[in-house]
């Protein structure tokens, strides 16, 4: 069961190199793979510099909350290489670049609301000169009392958006009448995105007063809109181009725009191209992160451990402005059930305002933080009743045809979680290993092992309805090659590869026939962010629709031209077969295209898609916000050291539901990467601010994302077989970007299982996240104390 | 006459650098001057590996061999390229054909966003030059300094294990002798220097040149591997006026063994001295394999780790516990001192003006001596220690004959635990003595809280490591370490 042996690797390699037609369902390599490995893939910072190009940097607030009394920028302006310095007064148009709600001034107004907030921007002849100059400002502040914790914000009712509650049944009465009642609280840490490519944008003035922006952004249309607004020019003068990002993870959904706006403001002022690139530590201090949450619950359950009623409150630390926090805390609330039927439930979400950077989208979008509470509940109930947590998880799963209404009143359909969990329990040998672990823990005093199986049920769709639309543009050129463009952005997830496969499938041509191209606002307009795992669902369908339109034109043309029936025009193997069996004519795809062109058939089409069925009424907190659910489960086995709190993930087994996979290798890559990222969030990735609101973990020396040895030696990942999406998604596939992130919760739960062994599994350990070795050691010490207390009873 | 040029091979092209500010990093040189943008900047602090390049140096007794080593270009000053070959990701392809280490990553779907990929390619390339068919442990060690945020690493590990040695010799193998000859030609040019914008870089080739230069320029900054020093330029945005590079000083790059000791030149990088230490003190060897990353250990030096006197350097506590000594030289005179006495206060040392560390003498293991080393950090690989404990102990007839214990991360300097030692020395080797030693630690240290750990955690772990040491020596068969568990 070790990682692939050489022989297996060789056969894996051969299957990968299968040269068959590039349609869906095949493990085609990433469209840029050859360019990635050769260093030829061009990221924004790799673009050749244009004549006169300048580099931007920002001056930063030194206080978490303060009034700016004066700002003397003379030394900045006089510094070597400086060509321009701007403040908010130099913004020709809108000052506020809040993506949904106002609250984000592009450069500080009179009051600053977080430490690091940009006060002014500098353009200089080099990146380093700009950064050095930005340090020379003399700023006088009147320090104001900051709010730095969720607790304080709750006490002061200091919110970026109003609280919101979802309710089904009468949770208070159900808890009151339940045989068992437990309550608890958990602090869930935030997470730095740590995309390897930091935030970067280049702005180039155009001849008609506009800008061409190259931005590492998940949301080019929003960058376009905000740049237009700060410059006070119409949208049609701004073009945004995003070929690829060096990672996004949600961190470039709204957080890419400020730097594009600042580059554009300086470029406009200087009438020269300007590049704005954040150094790693600036990126970590100046851009939003996954929201830290402080959640609590009270649950009532029966003797079997089945929940009868529950109250959950989730409190998101939103930072200083709304950004996307309304929807993020909503998603935490939507996922407070994870995979479990809560029966009578009240879920309340607070959006706490604190004086830190504004927290933002991050893979899972609040969902993971919401799920942590209910997974804690499962462990707590199990310890209370002296049962295996897996038994409690299984007994609480959503049912089929009954016990299937969520706390937001969506019916859970096509539920495959019980089947999936049973299958994983078998394949991972859970029960036998549970026994072995008990034996190990009896024999070992210092090292302890733990195991946990946790499921994921993740709702797919933007919960903001209008975002669930997409456009695509497909051209066929006269040599038969195809140009593909759509509104989705490529951040490594393989979107461009999958959408190219979908178009290749329609025409039955090799995927190499499809040329993918940079996402551009002048090709496909008014696009949604590539987020919410929706990239392929939305853009794949839009591109498929464009291809279907073109194909219909070609079929209609061929039928008429060759005087055959439409169904007698068949695309296969890079060719087109025309006519009945007898006297069938076969021509190369390119040949048909030539013929169509000569006969004046339009060979370009747009395509459009909007997700059906979804609706949600926020007034009543009822509806169907999700088109479908993507499911999965993971079993993690860990080893902990009870003297130091150190730990290691020894083995992970994952079974995940991607419907009918468009590209199994890409899907498995998404699952493995998401799992490890989720594990990092809950273990070693510790954000730490001091009591002045300064981020202390502001570089990779102090903020530790998983490294290669953190990947388990035994890492078995499989796709749930033979279970296509019952909803009509593109080729019945399911979204995969975010759902497997939450499989990382199994690592946290397994650590708790190991800790619980110290008190013979009779007490549920409290383990806030990230569960650093320090926190694990304290949890172990609590258990040792609990064991003493028990034996003293 | 000192040559005012830095000479190196960029792949097969001889580069002669003049009039370039020696504060420039190799990454900036590649991207901003050569317009080779395949090498990426992920952090500019040597922590992520996206900028990994391969340096090729002459090696072997006759200098007829080549040593391929990975390095972080972001914290490497251009001057340190003198006399080396620099290979970047752009040089691996031959025509349209990818190099086997590149092709394997494609075949195993080992790239997603692709930004870290050139760095993984180069680390994997360096590994394959050293080991033809690496096993998983070797792959993980070689790639521990390369962060990937997308893949979860499994595909990258499989790719690195699969890229086979059976492949035909690559262009570097085919041009091996030519490269040796080219590099030898550069080395005949002796000292090198580089000056621009009022900043100087000087690379002496022998110890007398170095000593004389430091007498004449007492304010010059010593440059070993630069793995810490370069951060003052890339992170604090400082500029260094005078850099004097130790990497080409013959006498500082020696590694000798005597009957009793191992003598490590101060400019010897970790990767070269670790095997000798590993033989003597296996736990120390294993700990060193967790210091920084392969890129860091290929360049970072023992003299540097001592010289910058960080309270969280991992080598000083171990050297102190083992009773290592060091030779300092100033002008023509040398003096010896225990490593322990070198540290005077937070980042303050006993080093005098114009003085430098010549070498470090580490006593070999004696019969009956146990050397226990513990490195505690949030992440197993490439992480700075919250606590480092080094314990050298001799137990005879169930009592403690001698003991020397030093900790890192517990005080402003790497420091011996005097009260703790006193509580153990001459005492029976029992739980009672260990309990007393744990208690005594609170007299030795008042650790601080920071981003890595709280004061309470540091003290608790420091005490628990004494417990662990006791348990391990009581029963050598019991598994006690998460790090080594397989």
User: Could you tell me the pLDDT band of residue B164, with boundaries at 50, 70 and 90?
Assistant: low
Q: Out of A646, A675, A774, name the one closest to residue B453 (CB).
A: A774
| Average pLDDT of chain A, as a whole number | 96
* Position B240 in a domain: no
Residue A357, token pair as written in the block: 């950077």
Q: Is the pLDDT of residue A14 over 90?
A: no
Domains and CATH numbers, chain A: 46-145+193-286 (3.90.1170.50), 293-463+618-792 (3.30.365.10), 469-610 (3.30.365.10)
The residue of chain B with its CA nearest to that of A15 is: B107
> Which chain A residues have a beta carbon less than 8 Å from that of B42?
196-198, 280
Range 187-206 of B in CB contact (< 8 A) with A = none
Test B37 with A37 for CB contact under 8 angstroms.
no
- Rounded to the nearest angstrom, the minimum Cα separation between A443 and chain B is 10
* Position B228 in a domain: no
Nearest to residue A98, comparing CAs of A347, A410, A362, A319? A319
Verify that B444 and B302 share a domain, yes or no: yes
> Which chain B residues have a beta carbon less than 8 Å from that of A673?
112, 148-152
Side by side, which strands form the sheet with B199-203?
B192-196, B199-203, B242-245, B221-223
Strand duo A211-215 + A482-486: pairing: unpaired
Residue B340's domain is classified under what CATH number?
3.30.390.50
* Position B197 in a domain: no
Q: Is the pLDDT of residue A247 over 50?
A: yes
pTM above threshold 0.80: yes
Q: What was the pLDDT predicted at A17?
A: 44
Backbone angles phi, psi at A323, to 5 degrees: 40, -125
Max CA distance (Å), chain A: 93
Test B117 with A708 for CB contact under 8 angstroms.
no
Q: Out of B381, B471, B486, name the one closest to residue A707 (CB).
A: B381
Q: How far apart are CA B108 and CA A27, in angstroms?
A: 10
Q: Out of B106, B146, B468, name the one closest to residue A29 (CB).
A: B106
Q: How far apart are CA A260 and CA A275, in angstroms?
A: 9
| pLDDT digit string, tens, across residues B428-442 | 999 999 999 999 999
The residue of chain A with its CA nearest to that of B154 is: A711
Nearest to residue A270, comparing CAs of A55, A588, A485, A38? A55
Verify that B66 and B164 share a domain, yes or no: yes
Q: How many CB pairs under 8 A join A and B?
A: 282
What number of other Cβ atoms are within 10 A of residue A298's Cβ? 18
Q: Which residues share a beta bridge with A185?
A: A296
Chosen domain end from B186, B206, B228: B186
| pLDDT digit string, tens, across residues A287-335 | 999 999 999 999 999 999 999 999 999 999 999 999 999 999 999 999 9
Q: Is the pLDDT of residue A542 over 70?
A: yes
User: Which secondary structure element, helix H or strand E, spans residue B71, and what is its range?
Assistant: strand B65-72
* Position B231 in a domain: no
The CA dihedral of A420, A426, A428, A431, to the nearest 10 degrees, is 120
User: Could you tell me the pLDDT band of residue A342, with boundaries at 50, 70 and 90?
Assistant: very high
Strand duo A238-242 + A211-215: pairing: parallel
Verify that B174 and B272 share a domain, yes or no: no
What is the domain range of residue B89?
A: 6-186
- Rounded to the nearest angstrom, the minimum Cα separation between A5 and chain B is 9
Residue reference for tokens 């010896």: B336
* Position B357 in a domain: yes
Q: What was the pLDDT predicted at A428?
A: 98
| pLDDT digit string, tens, across residues A377-407 | 999 999 999 999 999 999 999 999 999 999 9
- A interface mutation test: which of B113, B133, B167, B476 has the most A CBs within 10 A? B113
- B interface mutation test: which of A639, A686, A708 has the most B CBs within 10 A? A708
* Position B280 in a domain: yes
Q: How far apart are CA A770 and CA A681, in angstroms?
A: 6
Q: Which residues share a beta bridge with A332?
A: none
Q: Out of B139, B149, B480, name the one closest to residue A194 (CB).
A: B149
Average the pLDDT over A737-761 and give the result: 98
Q: How far apart are CA B201 and CA B220, in angstroms?
A: 9
Asked whether the beta carbons of A357 and A319 are under 8 A apart, the reply is yes
Test A196 with B149 for CB contact under 8 angstroms.
yes
Q: Out of A34, A193, A704, name the one closest to residue B383 (CB).
A: A704
Catalytic residue IDs of A? 738
User: Could you tell me the pLDDT band of residue B477, with boundaries at 50, 70 and 90?
Assistant: confident
Q: How far apart are CA A444 and CA A459, in angstroms?
A: 42
| Average pLDDT of chain B, as a whole number | 96
User: Left (φ > 0), alpha (ψ -120 to 50) or beta: where does B46 sit?
Assistant: left
Q: What was the pLDDT predicted at A4?
A: 39
| pLDDT digit string, tens, across residues A142-161 | 999 999 999 999 999 999 99
Q: Is the pLDDT of residue A793 over 90?
A: no
Q: Is the pLDDT of residue B141 over 80?
A: yes
| pLDDT digit string, tens, across residues A763-780 | 999 999 999 999 999 999
Test A493 with B45 for CB contact under 8 angstroms.
no
Q: How far apart are CA B111 and CA B104, in angstroms?
A: 10
User: Could you tell me the pLDDT band of residue A21, with boundaries at 50, 70 and 90?
Assistant: low
Asked whether the beta carbons of B428 and B437 are under 8 A apart, the reply is no
Radius of gyration, CA atoms only, chain B: 23
Question: Who contacts B253 (Cβ-Cβ below 8 Å, separation ≥6)?
Answer: B246, B247, B265, B267, B268
Verify that B166 and B35 share a domain, yes or no: yes
Verify that B400 and B258 share a domain, yes or no: yes
Q: How far apart are CA A539 and CA A528, in angstroms?
A: 10
Nearest to residue A334, comparing CAs of A742, A657, A727? A742
> Which chain B residues have a beta carbon less than 8 Å from that of A686?
378, 451
Residue B175's domain is classified under what CATH number?
3.10.20.30
Verify that B167 and B312 share a domain, yes or no: no
Test A709 with B380 for CB contact under 8 angstroms.
yes
Q: How far apart are CA A654 and CA A715, in angstroms?
A: 8
User: Could you tell me the pLDDT band of residue A580, with boundaries at 50, 70 and 90?
Assistant: confident
What number of other Cβ atoms are within 10 A of residue A602's Cβ? 12
Test B144 with A708 for CB contact under 8 angstroms.
yes
| pLDDT digit string, tens, across residues A42-97 | 999 999 999 999 999 999 999 999 999 999 999 999 999 999 999 999 999 999 99
Test B152 with A675 for CB contact under 8 angstroms.
yes
- Rounded to the nearest angstrom, the minimum Cα separation between B167 and chain A is 14
Verify that B320 and B398 share a domain, yes or no: yes
> Which chain B residues have a beta carbon less than 8 Å from that of A247?
113, 115, 149-150
Chosen domain end from B167, B186, B205: B186
Q: How far apart are CA B113 and CA B115, in angstroms?
A: 6
Side by side, which strands form the sheet with B415-416?
B369-376, B387-396, B399-408, B415-416
Residue reference for tokens 């993930």: A649
Q: How far apart are CA A587 and CA B309, in angstroms?
A: 76
Nearest to residue A201, comparing CAs of A97, A87, A84, A53? A53
How far is the first Cα of chain B from the last one, in angstroms, to the nearest whole number?
Answer: 57
Burial class (CB in 10 A: 0-12, 13-18, 19+), B94: exposed
| pLDDT digit string, tens, across residues A161-171 | 999 999 999 99
Q: What share of chain A is helix, strand, coil (3-state, %, to 5)?
A: 35, 25, 40
The structural domain count of chain B equals 2
Asked whether the beta carbons of B410 and B462 are under 8 A apart, the reply is yes
User: Could you tell me the pLDDT band of residue A105, with boundaries at 50, 70 and 90?
Assistant: very high
Q: How far apart are CA A735 and CA A27, in angstroms?
A: 16
* Position B236 in a domain: no
Q: Is the pLDDT of residue A12 over 90?
A: no
| pLDDT digit string, tens, across residues B344-361 | 999 999 999 999 999 999
Q: What was the pLDDT predicted at A761?
A: 97
Verify that B140 and B51 share a domain, yes or no: yes
What number of other Cβ atoms are within 10 A of residue B447's Cβ? 23
Q: What was the pLDDT predicted at B433?
A: 98
Q: Is the pLDDT of residue B168 over 90?
A: no
Q: Is the pLDDT of residue B295 over 70?
A: yes
Q: How far apart are CA A621 and CA A343, in angstroms?
A: 16
Verify that B181 and B306 share a domain, yes or no: no
Q: How far apart are CA A785 and CA A316, in angstroms?
A: 32
Residue A777, token pair as written in the block: 């050691």
Average the pLDDT over B15-32 and give the result: 97
Q: Is the pLDDT of residue A480 over 50?
A: yes
Range 26-45 of B in CB contact (< 8 A) with A = 31, 35-45
Backbone angles phi, psi at A322, to 5 degrees: -65, -40
Residue B117 contacts A where some CB pair is shorter than 8 Å: yes
Verify that B281 and B399 share a domain, yes or no: yes
Range 261-320 of B in CB contact (< 8 A) with A = none
- B interface mutation test: which of A26, A217, A707 has the most B CBs within 10 A? A707
Test A707 with B379 for CB contact under 8 angstroms.
yes
Give the whole-number percent of chain A exceeding pLDDT 70. Answer: 97
Q: What was the pLDDT predicted at A8?
A: 45
- In this structure, chain A runs to a length of 793
Nearest to residue A605, comparing CAs of A690, A702, A484, A710? A484
Q: How far apart are CA A448 and CA A664, in angstroms?
A: 36
* Position B325 in a domain: yes
Average the pLDDT over B312-338 and give the result: 97
SS3 of residue B69 by DSSP: strand
Nearest to residue A505, comparing CAs of A496, A514, A517? A514
Helix A664-682 with A745-756: angle, nearest 10 deg: 50
Buried-exposed string B26-57: b where 16+ CB fall within 10 A, e elsewhere: bbbbbbeeeebbbbbbbbbbbbbbbbbbbbbb
Test A38 with B93 for CB contact under 8 angstroms.
yes
SS3 of residue B387 by DSSP: strand
Question: Who contacts B54 (Cβ-Cβ below 8 Å, separation ≥6)?
Answer: B68, B69, B70, B71, B86, B87, B88, B122, B125, B126, B129
User: Could you tell me the pLDDT band of residue A792, with boundaries at 50, 70 and 90?
Assistant: low
- Rounded to the nearest angstrom, the minimum Cα separation between B139 and chain A is 9
| pLDDT digit string, tens, across residues B253-262 | 999 999 999 9
- Rounded to the nearest angstrom, the minimum Cα separation between B294 and chain A is 13
Q: What was the pLDDT predicted at A18?
A: 47
Average the pLDDT over A707-724 and give the result: 97
- Rounded to the nearest angstrom, the minimum Cα separation between B163 and chain A is 10
Verify that B156 and B259 share a domain, yes or no: no
Determine if the peptide bond prior to A625 is cis (ω within 30°).
no
> Which chain A residues have a beta carbon less than 8 Å from that of B147?
194, 196, 700, 705, 707
Q: What was the pLDDT predicted at A7?
A: 38
Verify that B277 and B405 share a domain, yes or no: yes
Q: Is the pLDDT of residue B189 over 90?
A: no
Q: Is the pLDDT of residue A492 over 80?
A: yes
Buried-exposed string A676-686: b where 16+ CB fall within 10 A, e elsewhere: bbbbbbbbbbb
Test B482 with A280 for CB contact under 8 angstroms.
no
Q: Is the pLDDT of residue A578 over 60?
A: yes
Q: Is the pLDDT of residue A3 over 60?
A: no
- Rounded to the nearest angstrom, the minimum Cα separation between A645 and chain B is 9
Test B102 with A702 for CB contact under 8 angstroms.
no
Test B235 with A699 for CB contact under 8 angstroms.
yes
Test B113 with A42 for CB contact under 8 angstroms.
no
Buried-exposed string B323-336: b where 16+ CB fall within 10 A, e elsewhere: ebbbbbbbeeeeee
The CA dihedral of A750, A756, A757, A762, to the nearest 10 degrees, is -130
Test A672 with B50 for CB contact under 8 angstroms.
no
Range 423-462 of B in CB contact (< 8 A) with A = 450-454, 457, 460-461
Test B379 with A644 for CB contact under 8 angstroms.
no
User: Could you tell me the pLDDT band of residue A16, with boundaries at 50, 70 and 90?
Assistant: very low
Q: How far apart are CA A516 and CA A509, in angstroms?
A: 15
Average the pLDDT over B100-107 and give the result: 96
Average the pLDDT over A176-200 and give the result: 98
The residue of chain B with its CA nearest to that of A17 is: B107
- Rounded to the nearest angstrom, the minimum Cα separation between A647 and chain B is 6
User: Could you tell me the pLDDT band of residue A10, with boundaries at 50, 70 and 90?
Assistant: very low
Chosen domain end from B186, B214, B242: B186
Max CA distance (Å), chain B: 70
């Amino acid at each position: 069961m070790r990682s692939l042996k050489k022989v297996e690797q060789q056969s894996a390699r051969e299957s990968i190199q299968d040269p068959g037609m590039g349609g869906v369902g095949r493990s085609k390599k990433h469209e840029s793979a050859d360019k990635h490995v050769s260093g030829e893939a061009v990221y924004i910072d790799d673009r050749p510099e244009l004549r006169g190009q300048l580099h931007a940097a920002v001056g930063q607030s030194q206080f978490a909350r303060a009034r700016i009394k004066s700002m003397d920028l003379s030394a900045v302006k006089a510094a070597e290489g400086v060509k321009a310095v701007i403040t908010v007064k130099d913004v020709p148009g809108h000052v506020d670049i809040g993506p949904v709600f106002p609250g984000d001034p592009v450069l500080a107004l009179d009051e600053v609301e977080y430490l690091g907030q940009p006060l002014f921007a500098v353009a200089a002849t080099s990146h380093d000169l700009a950064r050095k100059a930005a340090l020379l400002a003399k700023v006088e502040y009147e320090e104001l009392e900051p709010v730095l914790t969720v607790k304080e914000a709750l006490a002061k009712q200091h919110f970026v958006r109003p609280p919101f509650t979802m309710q089904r049944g009468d949770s208070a009465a159900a808890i009151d009448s339940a045989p068992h009642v437990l309550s608890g609280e958990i602090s869930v840490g935030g997470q730095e995105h740590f995309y390897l490519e930091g935030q970067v944008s280049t702005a180039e003035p155009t001849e008609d007063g506009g800008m061409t922006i190259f931005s590492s952004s998940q949301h080019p249309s929003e960058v376009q809109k905000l740049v237009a607004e700060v410059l006070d020019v119409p949208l049609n003068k701004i073009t945004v181009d995003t070929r690829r990002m060096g990672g996004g993870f949600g961190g470039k959904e709204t957080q890419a725009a400020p730097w594009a706006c600042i580059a554009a403001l300086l470029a406009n002022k200087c009438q020269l191209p300007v590049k704005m690139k954040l150094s790693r530590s600036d990126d970590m201090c100046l851009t939003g992160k996954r929201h830290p949450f402080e959640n609590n619950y009270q649950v009532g359950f029966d003797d079997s451990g089945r929940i009868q009623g529950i109250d959950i409150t989730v409190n998101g630390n939103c930072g200083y402005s709304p950004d996307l926090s309304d929807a993020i805390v909503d998603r935490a609330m939507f996922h407070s059930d994870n995979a479990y039927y809560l029966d009578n439930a009240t879920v309340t979400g607070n959006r706490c305002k604190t004086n830190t950077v504004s927290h933002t989208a991050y893979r899972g979008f609040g969902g993971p933080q919401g799920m942590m509470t209910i997974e804690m509940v499962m462990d707590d109930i199990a310890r209370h009743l002296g049962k295996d947590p897996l038994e409690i998880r299984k007994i609480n799963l959503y049912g089929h045809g009954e016990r299937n209404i969520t706390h937001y009143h969506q019916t859970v359909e096509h539920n495959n979680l019980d089947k999936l969990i049973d299958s994983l329990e078998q394949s991972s040998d859970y029960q036998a290993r549970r026994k072995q672990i008990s034996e190990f823990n009896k024999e070992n005093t210092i090292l302890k092992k733990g195991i946990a199986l946790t499921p994921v049920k993740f709702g797919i769709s933007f919960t903001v309805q209008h975002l669930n639309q997409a456009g695509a543009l497909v051209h066929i050129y006269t040599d038969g090659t195809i140009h593909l463009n759509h509104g989705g952005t490529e951040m490594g997830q393989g979107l461009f590869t999958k959408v190219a496969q979908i178009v290749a499938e329609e025409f039955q041509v090799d995927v190499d026939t499809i040329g993918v191209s940079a996402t551009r606002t002048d090709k496909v307009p008014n696009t949604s962010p590539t987020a919410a795992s929706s990239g392929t669902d939305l853009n794949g369908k839009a591109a498929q629709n464009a291809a279907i339109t073109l194909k219909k034109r070609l079929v209609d043309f061929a039928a008429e031209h060759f005087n055959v029936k439409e169904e007698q025009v068949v695309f296969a193997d890079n060719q087109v077969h025309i006519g009945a069996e007898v006297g069938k004519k076969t021509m190369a795809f390119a040949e048909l295209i030539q013929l169509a062109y000569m006969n004046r058939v339009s060979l370009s089409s747009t395509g459009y898609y909007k997700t059906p069925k979804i609706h949600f009424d926020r007034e009543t907190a009822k509806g169907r916000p999700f088109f479908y659910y993507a499911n999965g489960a993971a079993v993690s086995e860990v080893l902990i050291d009870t003297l130091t709190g150190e730990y290691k993930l020894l083995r992970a087994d994952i079974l995940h539901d991607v419907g009918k996979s468009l590209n199994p290798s890409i899907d498995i890559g998404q699952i493995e990467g998401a799992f490890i990222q989720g594990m990092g969030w809950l273990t070693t990735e510790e954000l730490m601010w001091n009591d002045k609101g300064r981020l202390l973990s502001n570089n990779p020396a102090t903020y530790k994302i998983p490294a290669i040895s953190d990947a388990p030696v035994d890492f078995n990942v499989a796709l749930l077989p033979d279970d296509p999406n019952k909803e009509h998604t593109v080729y019945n596939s399911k979204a995969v970007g975010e759902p497997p992130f939450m499989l990382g919760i199994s690592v946290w739960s397994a650590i708790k299982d190991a800790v619980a062994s110290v008190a013979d599994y009779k007490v549920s350990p409290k383990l806030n996240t990230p569960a650093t070795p320090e926190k694990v050691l304290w949890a172990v010490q609590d258990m040792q104390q609990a064991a003493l207390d028990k034996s003293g009873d | 006459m000192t040559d005012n040029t830095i000479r190196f091979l960029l792949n097969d092209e001889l580069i002669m650098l003049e009039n370039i500010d020696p504060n420039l990093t190799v990454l900036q040189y590649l991207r901003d001057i050569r317009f080779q943008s395949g090498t990426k900047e992920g952090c500019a602090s040597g922590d992520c590996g996206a900028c990994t390049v391969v340096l090729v140096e002459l090696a072997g007794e006759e200098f007829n061999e080549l040593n391929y080593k990975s390095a972080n270009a972001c914290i490497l000053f251009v001057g340190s390229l003198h006399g080396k070959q620099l290979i970047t990701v752009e040089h691996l392809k031959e025509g349209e054909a990818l190099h086997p280490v590149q092709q394997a990553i494609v075949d195993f779907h080992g790239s997603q966003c692709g930004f870290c990929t050139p760095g993984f390619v180069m680390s994997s390339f360096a590994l394959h030059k050293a080991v033809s068919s690496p096993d998983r442990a070797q792959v993980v060690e070689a790639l521990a300094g390369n962060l990937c945020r997308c893949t979860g690493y499994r595909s990258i590990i499989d790719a690195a294990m699969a890229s086979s040695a059976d492949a035909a010799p690559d262009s570097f193998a085919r041009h091996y002798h030519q490269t040796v000859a080219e590099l030898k030609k550069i080395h005949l040019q002796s000292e090198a220097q580089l000056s621009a914008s009022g900043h100087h870089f000087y690379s002496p080739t022998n110890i007398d040149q170095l000593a004389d230069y430091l007498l004449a320029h007492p304010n010059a900054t010593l440059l070993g591997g630069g793995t810490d020093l370069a951060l003052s330029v890339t992170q604090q945005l400082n500029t260094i006026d005078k850099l004097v590079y130790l990497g080409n000083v013959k006498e500082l790059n020696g590694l000798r063994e005597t009957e009793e000791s191992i003598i490590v030149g101060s400019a010897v990088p970790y990767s070269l001295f670790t095997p000798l230490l590993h033989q003597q003190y296996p736990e120390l060897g294993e700990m060193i394999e967790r210091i920084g990353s392969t890129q860091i250990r290929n360049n970072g030096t023992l003299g540097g780790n001592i010289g910058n006197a960080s309270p969280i350097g991992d080598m000083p506590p171990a050297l102190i516990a083992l009773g290592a000594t060091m030779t300092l030289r100033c002008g023509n005179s040398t003096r010896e001192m225990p490593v322990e006495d070198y540290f005077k206060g937070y980042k303050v040392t006993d080093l005098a003006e114009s003085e430098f560390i010549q070498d470090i003498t580490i006593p070999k293991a004696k019969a009956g001596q146990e050397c226990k080393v513990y490195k505690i950090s949030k992440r197993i690989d490439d992480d700075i220690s919250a606590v480092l404990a080094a314990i050298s102990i001799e137990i005879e007839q169930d009592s403690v004959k001698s003991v020397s214990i030093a900790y890192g991360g517990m005080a402003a300097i790497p420091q011996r635990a005097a009260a703790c030692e006193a509580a153990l020395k001459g005492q029976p080797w029992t739980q009672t003595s260990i309990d007393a030693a744990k208690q005594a630690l609170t007299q030795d240290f008042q650790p601080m809280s920071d981003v890595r750990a709280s004061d309470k955690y540091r003290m608790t772990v420091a005490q628990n490591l004494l417990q662990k040491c006791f348990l391990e020596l009581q029963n050598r068969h019991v598994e006690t370490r998460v790090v080594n568990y397989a």
